Amino acid sequence: MAGEGCQSLRARLRQDTQDSHKILDAQITQLCQEGAAGYRRFIVTQWQLFSALSQVSGAKTQPVSMELAARALADLRVMKINADERPLPFAPHPLAVDYLVAGSRLGNQILRRMWRDAGVTSQSTADAYLSAPDYLEHWRGFLAAAETMPPEPEVVLNIVENAIQLFNFCADLLNAQSTEEGLECRIITPQDLSPSTT
C-alpha cells in the first residue's frame, strides 16, 4: 500500500539520519563555543551547503536553498570573507534534498537562540542567514510528497542513503572549517566585492 510505503520513508528518514543529525548538532554547538570565529565558520559552511544544494534541479526546495545561500553570502560580504564553493560529490534524489533543506528549517529558532546566547549575533550585523524565515510550508510540502510517492523499496533506500550522504557532506564542510582555519576562509579583496560574483 502507498500509505505504508510513504510512512516507512518518513520513519526511515527520521530514524536512519538521527545519528548524523546528532553529529551536526555537536559540531555546531562546538562552533558556538568559539564565539565570533565559530560564527564565521558556521556561515561559510551554510553558504557552501545551500549553494551546493541549490544546484540540484527537480528539488522543490531549490528556491529556498538559493535564498539561504544568498543570505549567507550577504553575511560573508559583511564579514569580509571569501569562501570556496564545494560542489556536491554525487547527484542526490530531489526528495532527499527537500528533506534536508526543509527539515533543517525546523531547528532554525534553536540555532538562532544558540548564537544569541553565545553573544555573537547581538554584536553582528551579519545576520541575514539567521533572520531567514522557517519556510514551514516546504516541510509540509515534503511530507505530502513523501506520502504520494510510489513505495518501491529501492527508491526509498536510495532517498534514505542520499539523505545520510547529504548529512555527511554537511559534517565534512564543518570539519574542514574546524581543522583548516585560514585555508577555507580568506579576507576578500576589493575585486571580490564585484556584484557579478557569486
Scanning 77-85, 96-104, 130-138, 154-162 for contacts with ligand HEM by CB under 6 A, the matching segment is 96-104
Residues in contact with 9: Cβ distance below 8 Å, sequence separation at least 6, in sequence order: 146, 149, 151, 156, 159, 160
Q: Which of residues 117-156 bind ligand HEM (CB under 6 A)?
A: none
Start-end of H helices in the chain: 2-16, 18-33, 35-53, 62-78, 94-104, 108-117, 136-148, 153-179
Question: Is 35 or 192 the residue whose CB approaches ligand HEM more closely?
Answer: 35
Least Å from the CB of residue 167 to ligand HEM? 6
Closest to ligand HEM by CB, 81 or 100: 100
Q: Smallest distance, Å, CB 20 to ligand HEM?
A: 9
The minimum distance between CB 104 and ligand HEM, in angstroms, equals 4
Measured between alpha carbons, how far is 180 from 83 in angstroms, rounded to an integer?
A: 12
Based on the shown chain and the rule CB under 6 A, indicate whether residue 53 belongs to the binding site for ligand HEM.
no
- Asked if 99 touches ligand HEM (CB under 6 A), the answer is yes
Q: In the set 5, 6, 9, 13, which binds ligand HEM (CB under 6 A)?
A: 13
With beta carbons less than 8 A apart as the criterion, state whether 13 and 99 touch.
Answer: yes
Under 8 Å between Cβ of 28 and 42: yes
Scored b (16 or more CB within 10 A) or e, 56-71 reads: beebbbbebbebbbbb
Per-residue b or e along 33-46, where b marks 16 or more CB atoms closer than 10 Å to that residue's CB: eeeeebbbbbbbbb
Residue 106 binds to ligand HEM (criterion: CB under 6 A): yes
In this chain, which of 9, 43, 160, 170 binds ligand HEM, going by CB under 6 A? 170
CB nearer to ligand HEM: give 77 or 112: 112
Please report whether residue 92 would count as binding ligand HEM according to CB under 6 A. Answer: no
- The reply to whether 28 sits near ligand HEM by the rule CB under 6 A is yes
Instruction: Note whether 31 binds ligand HEM by CB under 6 A.
Output: no
Using alpha carbons, select from 129, 125, 113, 126 the residue that is nearest to residue 29: 113
Residues that bind ligand HEM (CB under 6 A): 13-14, 21, 24-25, 28, 99-100, 103-104, 106-107, 110-111, 170
